[in-house]
């Protein structure tokens, strides 16, 4: 099966299904598989991973609509699991994470 931006890569599926402490992000994987694929590509680059999570959760360009709540929670859970970062998100009315 060839990998497309509309499907999880085999390495992403393997990582999500076989890594202790990682809950399978159903909403994120079904709605934004390319994001999951990129997160798994960055899993060994903590600085790159942290920067990508920051890019996902902050509107640096303006005009973003945000993610559905279930997708945002999957991103939050993956951030905690992959970075060991328990700080969570800072709620700010200027950032529209949830559509």
45-90 pLDDT, tens digit per residue, is 999 999 999 999 887 777 777 899 999 999 999 999 999 865 655 5
The percentage of residues in the chain with a pLDDT greater than 70, rounded to a whole number, is: 80
Cα distance between residue 27 and residue 59, in whole Å: 21
Task: Collect all residues with Cβ–Cβ distance below 8 Å to 39 and sequence separation of at least 6.
Answer: 12, 49, 52, 53, 78, 82
Sorted by where each begins, the domain ranges of the chain are: 10-83
Give the Cα separation of 66 and 72 in Å (integer). Answer: 9
Cβ proximity of 58 and 95 under 8 Å: yes
């Amino acid at each position: 099966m060839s990998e497309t931006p509309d499907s999880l890569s085999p390495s992403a599926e393997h990582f999500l299904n076989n890594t202790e402490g990682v809950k399978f992000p159903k909403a994120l994987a079904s709605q934004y598989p390319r994001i999951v694929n990129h997160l798994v590509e960055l899993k060994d680059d903590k600085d790159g991973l942290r920067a990508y999570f920051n890019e996902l959760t902050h509107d640096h360009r303006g005009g973003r609509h945000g993610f559905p709540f279930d997708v945002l929670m999957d991103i939050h859970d993956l951030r905690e699991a992959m970075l060991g970062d328990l700080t969570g998100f800072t709620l700010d009315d200027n950032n529209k994470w949830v559509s």
